[in-house]
Amino acid sequence: MLRIATRKSLLALWQSEHAADLLRRHHPDLEVELVPLSTRGDEVLDRSLSEIGGKGVFLKELERAILDGEADIAVHSLKDVPAESPPEFELAAYLAGGDWGDWWITCDGRTPADMPPGSRIGTSSLRRQSQLLAQYPELDIVPVRGNVQTRLAKLDGGEVDALILAAAGLQRLEIQREHWLALQPPEFLPAPGQGVIVAQCRRGDERTRRLLQSLNCPHTTTRIRAERAVVHELGGDCRMPLAALAKIEGDQVRLHARLASPDGLEVIDSTSTGAATEAEELGRKAARFIIDSGGLRILSQL
């Protein structure tokens, strides 16, 4: 038996059931069940994540369930996982990554360049906000929280004129919208680890760790080592207006990282290439370049 702690949103349940299906496929005799839980991040929607403890609030109840013996693993969207994991846990498997991009969603097909000044753009991500305002400073950012369906309802109800959402979530839930646009590099970069599902277990639980290894994707792991090393070196978490995208090209990794001020007025980019075996060092070097280029000034504003 293996029990998976999961949030109750449709996307979280999809991701956890996906991990469960993979486990059953690799271990036909293994019984797997989901343990749906409510988290503070899901319950408190009238305040920003930074006010209630950052994206880590999505994890704490699931981690508590593992420590209390109610579950054996937890499944998360990696972009919601802070760079520093509590010492009691380890990220044991990175599943093959989905679409890492962001999608621009409207009801009428207008692009960011088509939006008149003062148009209301729904996002609670400082990363998305900073990159959008860097190019279109005349737009207004409206914080929106809640699950994918809740955010789309705000668009359809006229509370916002456009939304920026993770492509992977829409694809996994098979949500089709008539008007969408992929926000692409170099203008837009994703969050470190975006589109990746990760399985977490208690450190020292070797049986569970061995079972999870069958889910681990080496290609995705290399990408993640580079991207999350940037976050770790900057001492940040997923609330930081930081973007990073690592692409594997043969035995090389090409990493593009970006730190921007929330108002989009300051943008610092780092682009570098290195051996895949040294992906973490590549990420650390990118972070140090950002710091040396004025990144501490941006971080001090947060």
| pLDDT at 20 (0 to 100) | 98
Nearest to 49, CA basis, from 82, 9, 76: 82
Two tokens at 240? Answer: 């930081």
Q: Is 200 exposed, middle or buried (0-12, 13-18, 19+ CB in 10 A)?
A: buried
- The Cα–Cα gap between 163 and 154 comes to 9
| pLDDT at 52 (0 to 100) | 40
Say whether 71 sits in a helix, a strand or coil: coil
Q: How many residues does the chain have?
A: 302
Instruction: Identify the structural domains of the chain with CATH numbers, from first to last.
Output: 2-95+195-216 (3.40.190.10), 102-183 (3.40.190.10), 217-302 (3.30.160.40)
| pLDDT at 55 (0 to 100) | 53
Two tokens at 179? Answer: 């008007």
**E strands, the chain, where?**
2-7, 32-37, 73-77, 89-94, 102-105, 120-122, 140-142, 162-166, 180-183, 197-202, 242-249, 252-260, 267-275
In Å, what is the CA distance from 237 to each residue of 83, 122, 158, 252, 299? 6, 21, 32, 26, 12
| pLDDT at 49 (0 to 100) | 47
Two tokens at 289? Answer: 């370049």
Annotated catalytic residue: which of 42, 72, 80, 161? 80
- Tell me the pTM: 0.91
Two tokens at 178? Answer: 């008539």
pLDDT tens for the chain, residues 1 to 302? 999 999 999 999 999 999 999 999 999 999 999 999 976 545 444 444 444 444 566 799 999 999 999 999 999 999 989 888 899 999 999 999 999 999 999 999 999 999 999 999 999 999 999 999 999 999 999 999 889 999 999 999 999 999 999 999 999 999 999 999 999 999 999 999 999 999 999 999 999 999 999 999 999 999 999 999 999 999 876 678 999 999 999 999 999 999 999 999 999 999 999 999 999 999 999 999 999 999 999 998 87
In Å, what is the CA distance from 72 to each residue of 126, 255, 294? 33, 34, 43
H or E, element range at 265: none
- 151-184 pLDDT tens trace: 999 999 999 999 999 999 999 999 999 999 999 9
**Is the peptide bond prior to 186 cis by the omega test (within 30 degrees of 0)?**
yes
- The Cα–Cα gap between 13 and 37 comes to 10
Say whether 151 sits in a helix, a strand or coil: helix
- The Cα–Cα gap between 280 and 215 comes to 21
| pLDDT at 57 (0 to 100) | 66
Question: What one-character-per-residue DSSP string does 95-106 give?
Answer: PPP----EEEE-
- Residues with Cβ within 8 Å of 300's Cβ and at least 6 positions away in sequence, in order, are none
In Å, what is the CA distance from 223 to each residue of 107, 130, 196, 285? 34, 23, 10, 15
**Is residue 102 among the annotated active site residues?**
no
Nearest to 258, CA basis, from 183, 167, 188, 164: 188
Q: How many C-beta atoms surround the C-beta of residue 42 within 10 A?
A: 18
- The Cα–Cα gap between 254 and 215 comes to 25
